[in-house]
Structure 1
Amino acid sequence: MRVVITGGTGFIGSILTAKLRESGHDVIILTRKPSFEQNGVQYVQWLTDNASPENELGQVDAVVNLAGVSINDGRWTTERKKQIHDSRITATQEVLRILRSLPEKPSVLVNGSAIGIYPPSLTEEYTESSIVVGDNFLAKTVYDWERLASHANDLGVRTVFTRFGIVLGKDGGALPLMKLPYLLYSGGKIGSGNQWFSWVHVEDVANAIIYSLENNAIEGPVNVVAPSPMHMNAFGKTVAKVLHRPHWFPVPSFVMELTLGEKSMIILQGQHVLPDKLLKNGFTFQYPSLKPALEDLL
């Protein structure tokens, strides 16, 4: 396949690019830098004045849209929330414009998304058939993002919304910050500890995206989470066990709220999410359980 990726140099995108190249696929990454080629990957300029990436892409088989300002960096000020929301909308609008301009459409668009679309809950269990949407900032952002990307269907492009859980990686995602208190011998229960933590190893994220590209039966929302979500307290205990550190120092909710502001909801609230569609379509997780995933990453 010839795959175009936005956000291809980011945490998930770089791992996805490597896996696609290892499998023999051609990869084009859309970037704000001038067009160039490196290590067999073509970089094509976009989202700058006078950029016309559609003229450089040639035949495209698939598009993966991962572009957007990180939700993990900095406090969620009013300005930061606008950047998080608008960066996703702007990138997706440009992806749709490019799709419309291509004489021959790709067969599939995989649009990055998040389980944050679901309302926080201690009791509900969410699969792709769940149609409820939360009323917080993150849920509204994801909803707007998916609704816009769904217009690719109008062009005859199979559209997939990969709703990522809390992605764990060695050098990116949530894990570097979450392991820090344990390395300092001060890890412990965060908030009530009963909030759900629907996690996923970054290798499984990349594999799930490729699986969605290659399987015509997969479309619409896809929960990209490990099949074994945990309560936050159990997650912390597992981190402590793998790192051979104590799990003893509780962090009250108000401390997290003072430290992180509105962004604390990612840690203090959670959703019990299951990867129903991936499992029913035969996807095999490389890391279905937390302890082996953490042993690999830590």
Structure 2
Amino acid sequence: MKILITGGSGLIGSNLIPILRPYDVSVYTRNAAMAEQILGHNIQFLSSLTHLSNLDDYDVVINLAGEPIANKKWTDEQKHRIEYSRWSITEDIVTLINAGENPPKLLISGSAIGFYGRQKDNIIDENFSSSHDEFSHRLCERWETIAKKAQSDKTRVCILRTGVVITKRGGALQKMLLPFKLGLGGPMGDGSQYMSWIHLEDMLQGIAHLIANDSCQGVYNFTAPNPVTNAEFSRELAASLSRPCVFKVPKFVLRMMMGEMADLVLYGQRVVPTSLEESGYKFIYPKISQALDCLRK
């Protein structure tokens, strides 16, 4: 099997590649030298897609590329960069898939639970249709719409609406750790907002599950079956580090530090992975206490 990955040097992509061995993996990247340092030498790197007329050489395409959404304040320029980095590459991939006579059998394309917007404590599965209209929703809605254009009787499309990925290897958890290690960690705002998360191992094995099961197609919430409030998460994270959890980060402080991007942590979604579980996937880390055990090892 031949697999093409975009965003292969990111947190998910770089950890997914070893899971996909011994399949033949190629990585599309704008910076092949940096990607080679991260991923090693036994991978074919594509620095451009413009020389390709189709993607018939590949059995599976996994589209994970995109500017990190939480690295910089959401200026108009940064919002455009976030959008373009997702929409443009997805459009290119879909065009190439649709141009072939024997296209890839599967396109797995990224998205996020931000698709739903802020939702208080509503329990949300893939059939939920009352998304809150805000930047994260509009970003993901168009991203998914573009990807779905690759769907045909020859190509199935799976959309990953991903929550906060839990791992000590990097990502969002790494950014949270320092104040908690210093005993200064605590909930964001009042802590009542829900936080839907997934352990990295379930993220990777879930993707492998979609590849292996030909009946899988459509939208999948890539979140663990037990979302928690931000206050619950903070208590569990502090406990895993044997630290207290007595401080709160006030909403106005987050607004000053992060601007509009503070919405990502001040509001949340209570998302459950109904479609993934109904397809037969069994979570390795269904509870946050299990997922955060990695910090004790």
Scaled by the length of structure 2, the TM-score of the pair is 0.93
Alignment of 1:184-263 (within 5 A): 184-263=182-261
CA RMSD of aligned residues (A): 1.9
Equivalent residues in 2 for 1:65-214 (5 A)?
A: 65-154=63-152, 156-214=154-212
- Write out per-residue CA displacement over residues 141-200 of structure 1, whole angstroms, 9 at most, x where no aligned residue: 000000111100147310110100011222322101122211121112221111001011
Q: Distance in 2 between matches of 1:124 and 1:79?
A: 33
After superposition, the Cα gap between the structure-2 partners of 1:229 and 1:153, relative to the gap in structure 1 and judged at 3 Å, is same
Q: Give the Cα separation in 2 of the matches to 1:161 and 1:63.
A: 12
Aligned position for 1:20: 20
Closer/same/farther in 2, CA of residues 34 and 274 from structure 1, 3 Å limit: closer
Q: More displaced, 228-237 or 93-102?
A: 93-102
Q: Deviations over 1:6-54 (max 9, x none)?
A: 1111111101111101xx211111122469985432112225xxx4145
Partner of 2:48: 46
Tell whether the 8 Å contact from 2:74 to 2:261 is kept in structure 1 after alignment: yes
Q: CA deviation at 1:203?
A: 1.5
**In the alignment, what sits opposite 2:263?**
265
Contact 2:121 2:194 in 1 (8 A): no
Task: Return the match for 1:296 from 269, 289, 294.
Answer: 294
**Cα drift, residue 58 of structure 1:** 6.1
DSSP 3-state at the match of 2:284: coil
Say if 2:241 and 2:295, in contact at 8 Å, map to a contact too.
Answer: no
Equivalent residues of 1:100, 1:155 under 8 A apart: no
Q: SS state of the match for residue 170, structure 1?
A: coil
| Sequence identity percentage | 36
Structure 2 alignment gaps of length 5 or more: none
CA contact (8 A) 2:56 2:97 kept: no
| TM value normalised by structure 1 | 0.92
**Is contact 1:164-1:224 (8 Å) kept?**
yes
Secondary structure (helix, strand or coil) at the match of 1:3 reads strand
Look up the match of 2:277. Answer: 279
Q: How many residues align?
A: 292
Between stretches 131-140 and 144-153, larger displacement belongs to 131-140
For structure 1, the residue ranges without an aligned partner over 5 or more in a row are none
**Most deviating of 99-108 and 70-79:** 99-108
In 2: Cα distance, 1:124 partner to 1:143 partner = 20
CA contact (8 A) 2:117 2:136 kept: no
Of 115-124 and 259-268, the range deviating more from structure 2 = 115-124
Greater shift, 26-35 or 188-197, is seen at 26-35
The offset of 1:202, in angstroms, is 1.3
Q: Distance in 2 between matches of 1:94 and 1:34?
A: 19
Distance 1:151 1:129 in 2: 20
